Structure 1
Amino acid sequence: MLKVHMDGAGICGVYPNDVATTKVEQVVAFARQHQHPLRCVMEET
């Protein structure tokens, strides 16, 4: 958490594309449902 606070971003995991897409959708939905200003994106490396 402190890394995200200090750097503005952090890596949560490395997953296959289909799994990552699902996880991003779940995290964004949960954050919105609970009114948290969390931004979750998927990047290809």
Structure 2
Amino acid sequence: MESNIDIKEKNKIKIKKPKLYKVIMHNDDFTTMEFVVDVLVNIFNKKIEEASKIMIDVHKKGSGIAGIFPHDIAVSKASTAMTIAKEQGFPFKLSVEEE
């Protein structure tokens, strides 16, 4: 006598959300406000109004948050922005910090 018993296994897979990181723009005396807004619009996908507000924060407070992303994306965007700044002769600095 054969028995056909189905055994079902339940595997619970827990998917963790990736840690998020802030991309912080730092003020300097040489990078133009227009360049900062341009970077925020074209690299960080901000609307012009929000980009202008962040740029003012950078100018007045010394830094501003360009965006919050998973690590690889944050590093890539910061690196791209600094590369473009260097190509245009600006000492623009961005850093990435865990949120």
In the aligned structure 1, how far is the partner of 2:62 from the partner of 2:95?
Answer: 13
Aligned to 2:43: none
Aligned to 2:58: 4
- Cα RMSD of the aligned pairs, angstroms, is 0.8
Number of residue pairs matched? Answer: 45
Unaligned 5+ segments in structure 1 are: none
In the aligned structure 2, how far is the partner of 1:20 from the partner of 1:34?
Answer: 21
**Superposition TM-score, scaled by structure 1 size:** 0.89
Unaligned 5+ segments in structure 2 are: 1-54
Residue 37 of structure 1 deviates from its aligned partner by: 2.1
**Segments ≥4 residues shifted beyond 4 Å:** none
Could you tell me the percent identity over the aligned residues? 33
**Superposition TM-score, scaled by structure 2 size:** 0.43
Which is bigger in relative contact order (C-alpha 8 A, separation at least 6)? 2
Structure with the higher strand share, 1 or 2: 2
